[in-house]
Structure 1
């Protein structure tokens, strides 16, 4: 027997090594799976904290309030529930109504020794997450309420400014806005211009929250009946809410009561009569997300406001000076068509502002009809 035949034979067939590409591929999928699982666990943890933790309540309601101010209001129910959404809206309406009830006793008295100032002064304002402008109108008697010039359509503030010869303009009151694509021609509540009632959409309501001016340029804001407005000699006014400062006191206690983050417009007045318009941009990450009403209130108080009220904000927010839009409106369709705007004139007695709603029945105005311009 050949001794060599009993020795183990070395295999002549070598095992093929697995390609490095397959090993890398498996390693990649393992890493991807781990990342996915970590993200999934973090998502579950974040969701549990957001919906269940008491410490997240303010965050939940802030996000819900922010959605309530947009065309996606219904989405707030996925954060706080449908019943709570209805309760939240009702709660805000009741609170806003109460904020307009206190009797306003402020008077205006121009400082006789103050140096002469330009009619309009504008400064930029910034805060946590927001950017915007403050416009001071040093003579409140130079302001008139502008309205559209064509039946069936609102008008851009920039167009109102150019058409009437105004030097500046800010959006005014709200309007019926079906599916957020309304034509801007059907105001909410009242419209008063040059001492005349241009539009009455109160229906059966006896009073409304207005923002406006009397004959002397004193700002009037809060809950009033038509008879009270007439006795006060109100010259320019729109319906909107809430009033955020009265008799020098802020009505909003903190940011949690500030009705979410959004573009904002507000009007206020100092004790010397100067009007303060605050315009805050929003819904534009990287530039300005927006402000809550507490932020706006604090800006007003810092600038000496003894009375102030909210105006229509959101995508309607716009500030025009010398035929130039200074802010960045958030509407995806560009500057919106609106029913009213507060306009500033060097010579307001020359302003030609006709009543476009004269003879029209408010209940028969189609707010969603296609614009005529």
Structure 2
């Protein structure tokens, strides 16, 4: 009988050994979790000290806050810099942007003469552009008189730029001015400020204001950007224009002094003009880690200066930024819902004189337009 009892004792010993190993593993795992927790606590404390008590940390906090200010989550910025500082920051930007639109623009354009032997330039040229954290495109329109401002084809709702391009037979298109966008769920039909198309005032949402910052082109193809009254715009024979800000370049010099003034990182659209008259549209993608985070206004300014812009201004950006060429979307819009419905777009036509763009806002009072109603 004795030999039979030995396996039983061995089994008990093995079970006991397994239990000890399990306890040891459990204690080891708990020690690992504790050490990881303490490491994270220490790193968090070091990070908090860096963010709140060093100049570089403060710069990072304000960069993050400025980036949030350009999104639908603007209110989150108060958790980074405080609510009062957020209000102050927005007010400072608005005041600075207004001031950037005041200097008198004196730039002139000299369109290159064409001869029988000279090879004609392509009307539209597109190049890729990239930098630290951003990727996008620059579209050059060599004849500025070929640009018209497109507007939606139906009342009550904006229209995608790709749809405007196809419906009106354009070669290319870029998003234009801003619009009322309650809770970032607007229908894209109520522009901010003014809309001028084919030399006519299509929309006037200024209310009691006498002037606005516009981005556009006059009858000779000269880009107009800055602070103007409607009377001034009429005298200047402005043909195509939207309201937006800030102006980035005037009389050949950049107005954004450094990246710190760049108003955060976001998808962007901007428009500029060279001395030879060519119009430059810059569209930068953003909010897509691994591809393109976005650009600040200083980046946009430098891209345009490097390509010879003597005047330039910011256009609506964020999820509105889109570039369409030959009925194809060239860039990667950041909106999770795809292209946004917009009130305006700068469109390029081979024969703009043949294009009919009716005023969709004719007879409507801006006060009666519901920017959030879906139709």
TM-score normalized by structure 1? 0.94
Query: 1:88-99 residue pairs with structure 2 within 5 A?
Result: 88-99=89-100
Tell me what 2:224 maps to: 220
**Alpha-carbon offset, residue 320 of structure 1:** 0.2
Query: 1:24-173 residue pairs with structure 2 within 5 A?
Result: 24-112=25-113, 115-173=119-177
Q: Give the whole-Å Cα distance in 1 for the aligned partners of 2:363 and 2:54.
A: 57
How many residues are paired up?
359
Tell me what 1:282 maps to: 286
**Alpha-carbon offset, residue 19 of structure 1:** 2.2
Q: Give the whole-Å Cα distance in 1 for the aligned partners of 2:55 and 2:279.
A: 42
RMSD: 1.4
SS in 2 for 1:131: strand
Tell me what 1:184 maps to: 188
1:187-225 CA distance string (max 9 Å, x none): 000000000000000000010000000000000000000
**Alpha-carbon offset, residue 361 of structure 1:** 0.3
**Alpha-carbon offset, residue 112 of structure 1:** 2.4
Within the candidate set 302, 305, 309, 2:313 is matched to 309
1:128-148 CA distance string (max 9 Å, x none): 000000000000000000000
Within the candidate set 351, 355, 373, 1:351 is matched to 355
My pick for the range that moved more, 33-42 or 138-147, is: 33-42
Q: Give the whole-Å Cα distance in 2 for the aligned partners of 1:115 and 1:232.
A: 33
Q: Give the whole-Å Cα distance in 2 for the aligned partners of 1:144 and 1:166.
A: 9
Q: Give the whole-Å Cα distance in 2 for the aligned partners of 1:67 and 1:41.
A: 27
**Alpha-carbon offset, residue 51 of structure 1:** 2.0
Q: Which runs of 5+ in 1 are unaligned?
A: 1-12
SS in 2 for 1:368: coil
1:175 maps to 2:179? yes
Tell me what 2:261 maps to: 257
SS in 1 for 2:136: strand
Tell me what 1:293 maps to: 297
Q: Give the whole-Å Cα distance in 1 for the aligned partners of 2:121 and 2:59.
A: 43
Q: Give the whole-Å Cα distance in 2 for the aligned partners of 1:255 and 1:210.
A: 24
Q: Give the whole-Å Cα distance in 1 for the aligned partners of 2:83 and 2:119.
A: 56
1:338 maps to 2:342? yes
TM-score normalized by structure 2? 0.94
Tell me what 2:242 maps to: 238
Note closer, same or farther for the CA distance 1:105–1:21 as it changes in structure 2 (3 Å cut).
Answer: same
Q: Give the whole-Å Cα distance in 1 for the aligned partners of 2:157 and 2:52.
A: 44
**Alpha-carbon offset, residue 161 of structure 1:** 0.1
1:139-176 CA distance string (max 9 Å, x none): 00000000001110000000000000000000000000
My pick for the range that moved more, 110-119 or 28-37, is: 110-119
Q: Give the whole-Å Cα distance in 2 for the aligned partners of 1:34 and 1:140.
A: 64
Q: Give the whole-Å Cα distance in 1 for the aligned partners of 2:95 and 2:286.
A: 26
SS in 1 for 2:28: helix
Q: Give the whole-Å Cα distance in 1 for the aligned partners of 2:336 and 2:28.
A: 45
Q: Give the whole-Å Cα distance in 2 for the aligned partners of 1:181 and 1:304.
A: 37
Q: Which runs of 5+ in 2 are unaligned?
A: 1-11
Larger radius of gyration: 1
SS in 2 for 1:19: helix
Within the candidate set 203, 207, 216, 2:207 is matched to 203
Tell me what 2:6 maps to: none
1:64-102 CA distance string (max 9 Å, x none): 000000000000001111000000000000000000000
